[in-house]
Amino acid sequence: MNRKNWITVSVSVLALSALLALGACSKKENTEQSSNATEQPAAAPAATPIDPATVATVSGTVKFDGTAPKPAKIDMSQDPGCKGTNEAEAVDVSGGDLANVFVYVKDGLGNRTFDVPKDAVVLDQSGCKYHPHVLGVMAGQTVQIKNDDPTTHNIHPTPKDNREWNESQPPSSPALEKTFAREEIMLPVKCNQHPWMKMYINVVKSPFFAVTDKSGKYEIKGLPPGDYTIAFVHEKLGEQDQKVTVAPKETKTVDQSFKAM
């Protein structure tokens, strides 16, 4: 190979390598938030009054079309302190009813503001699993995290829009109390000590949300009359929206179904 040829080959190899490296580095910016980002929301304006005499209720059932996937098996043998059921909850289908779907009013509330509930929402670690698997909470509302296992867990939310944190919680230690400042749907939470432990927190600005139970049912109460977009979000199956109009005092049934991916 003469000098010209080998220079051409070498330059080509270097250029290709550099191009790939450049592409790789620019692919994903660090999405991590500044560690000094506050979790405390700014002083909330007074809640927009809602006439309790006109409020409506939206309820329904979420179904799963098709053959439900078999629950994946979990191997908990790496920690003798873990004695939970060894099935993953990713797609929880029972008789065609789909559990763990987060249902919320995505659009239609305008500039209404709502009081943040004083009561904490409880997230329990038991049997080396999170209970519940999917949780809804208002921005600024306290999440109380308990450990009922005889082993240490670490709680590690990996948000896109909220502050990331990672804390360990030994057995019999006091509950952790945390808040999330910004709206974020399907915020993953995991335990790095037990890699099968995953759950999702949904942070919303309104109290109009619910999570489907084992029978696929949900209910959203106290909704003022109006035109809304109701979103149904599943951790694996994605999001589906429905537009609904609710009249004063109406009890509306809004069902939804997800197809197997």
Return residues touching other proteins (CB under 8 A).
1-3, 6, 10, 13-14, 16-18, 20-21, 23-25, 27-28, 30, 32, 35, 72-75, 78-81, 88, 90, 151-152, 154, 156, 158, 164, 166-168, 192-196, 236
End-to-end CA distance of the chain: 53
Nearer to other proteins, 7 or 247 (CB): 7
Token pair 């329904």 is at which residue? 60
Contact present, 220 and 253 (Cβ < 8 Å): no
Nearer to other proteins, 54 or 152 (CB): 152
Q: How far is the CB of 143 from other proteins (least distance, A)?
A: 18
**Backbone dihedral angles phi then psi of residue 253, each to the nearest 5 degrees:** -100, 120
Nearer to other proteins, 191 or 220 (CB): 191
The DSSP secondary structure of 189-219, one letter per residue, reads: EE-SSSTT-EEEEEEESSS-EEE--TTSEEE
Q: How far is the CB of 69 from other proteins (least distance, A)?
A: 9
Question: What is the Cβ-side half-sphere exposure of residue 72, based on CA atoms within 13 angstroms?
Answer: 9
Helix H or strand E segment including 230: strand 226-234
Q: Please state, in angstroms and rounded to a whole number, the distance separating the CA atoms of residues 106 and 85.
A: 34
Q: What single-letter DSSP state applies at residue 87?
A: B
Token pair 């079309």 is at which residue? 65
Nearer to other proteins, 3 or 118 (CB): 3
- For 38, 154, 245, the CA distances from 172, given in Å and listed in that order, are 28, 14, 48
Nearer to other proteins, 57 or 158 (CB): 158
Q: How far is the CB of 129 from other proteins (least distance, A)?
A: 11
Nearer to other proteins, 32 or 227 (CB): 32
Q: How far is the CB of 120 from other proteins (least distance, A)?
A: 22
Q: How far is the CB of 95 from other proteins (least distance, A)?
A: 23
Q: How far is the CB of 48 from other proteins (least distance, A)?
A: 37
The C-alpha angle with vertex 119 and arms to 162 and 53, in degrees rounded to 5, equals: 105
